[in-house]
Amino acid sequence: MAALDAALPLGAAEAPAWDADGAVLAGAFAQLYVVACYTSLGLGCAVCAWAALAGLLGDSKARGLPLPALHSWLKRFALAVLMVHPNPAPRAAAGAKPRPSPNTKPKPNPTPNADNGNATPSLRLSPSGGGNGKKRRRRRRAEAQPLGPAVKVRHLAVIMDGNRRWGKREHGDGIRGHAAGGEALGRFIEACIAEGLEVLTVYAFSTENWNRSPAEVAALMNVLCEHAEEMRRGAVERGLRVRVCATQPQRLPSIVRQRLRRLEEDTRDGTNFTVNVCVSYGGRDEIALAARRIACKVEAGELRPEDVDEDLFAQHLTTAATPDPELLLRTSGEHRLSNFMLYQCAYSELVFIDKLWP
């Protein structure tokens, strides 16, 4: 109690005559201020408690309670709070660094790839502000985790997902979303070139997309034809090479195959940048085709079974001429590969964002 009397001014023994309401309120505020400084309650809580005490003072006078008894109750309350919070927690000075507790172990810096101790630069996709709690949680999940070792991204793979949903949301027509997605691809290629990338592989039309309605598939083929011609002209002007990766090309309409063949032939000598367009493509189908080709060569005596390894297998994939992607990006908020480059992305960093592709 002696220590409390020293810490809490205007104790019961030192209290002046309680015939003035201001004296009681001043003493109450002083005691609550000390409680706030010695605990984690904060000065704001002390002010609110003091305001409540002012109302209690008026009620006590109305009921004829003696003011010294009110002050004694306040002191007992302060003592109880200090007993609950035995460790003082004074507010740190402005600009001062918080002093670590002796029992607190420092948290190590997270390093995603424990097998490699190199510094890990962060790649973050800035989400837009606002929105409800569910959207904020989705945006937090969309923030890309720090990339692994500090390596230069040469090859970027992208699953361009969300065209149909964007078209329905913005225009009430999913086909318009696919057309806008083709235009966005042109801008995205320019951005990749500006960032110093060497290869871009995009998922334009999967083998599973053949299961959509015939009207939508026909509209997608028309969009593919139009953008193939536009891409051909732009790639020739910029010195880009475009390669078409298809595991079921026979399912494409003849006019589409002709446009894609011309796109590849006219850009064959491009050296400034490479774009792989996966059309009528499936990752499992690609692996099966590669195994079938290797089996045929073994049966023909061109290869021995012991010659088959990872490098040889990769040479029989549709992306044989390009390195594996260091980074795979998928839009629309879906968190799956959807049968895209299953063999090539074995060691790729995966980034998923909520934004729809266009």
User: Which residue in the list 103, 113, 115, 161 is annotated as catalytic?
Assistant: 161
Burial class (CB in 10 A: 0-12, 13-18, 19+), 27: buried
The whole-number pLDDT of residue 47 equals 54
Active site residue 163: no
Predicted pLDDT at 152: 87
pLDDT in tens, 311-324: 999 999 999 989 99
Confidence check: pLDDT of 80 > 60: no
Residue 311 is a catalytic residue: no
For residue 126, pLDDT beyond 60:
no
pLDDT at res. 141: 45
272 phi, psi to nearest 5 deg = -80, -30
In this predicted structure, the answer to whether residue 58 has a pLDDT above a threshold of 50 is: yes
Look at residue 175 in the predicted model and tell me its pLDDT.
85
Contact 81, 46 (CB under 8 A): no
Coil, helix or strand at residue 330: strand
H helix runs in the chain, sequence order: 2-7, 21-38, 43-63, 67-84, 133-142, 163-171, 174-194, 214-238, 254-266, 283-299, 310-314
Question: What is the reported pLDDT for 36?
Answer: 59
Residues 6 or more apart whose Cβ sits within 8 Å of residue 134: none
Reported as a single tens digit per residue, the pLDDT across 338-350 is: 999 999 999 999 9
The answer, yes or no, to whether residue 122 has pLDDT greater than 50, is no
- Written as one string, the DSSP assignment of 232-280 is HHHHHHHTEEEEEE-S-GGGS-HHHHHHHHHHHHHTTT--SEEEEEEEE
pLDDT digits (tens, 9 = 90+) for 2-56: 443 444 444 444 444 444 555 555 565 556 555 555 555 555 555 556 555 655 5
**Exactly one of 5, 209, 285, 354 is catalytic; which is it?**
209
pLDDT at 118 over 90: no
Question: What percent of the chain shows pLDDT beyond 90?
Answer: 53
Contact assessment for residue 151 and residue 348, using Cβ atoms and an 8 Å cutoff:
no
Whether the pLDDT of residue 158 is over 90: the answer is yes
Q: Which domains does the chain have, with CATH numbers?
A: 151-281+325-352 (3.40.1180.10)
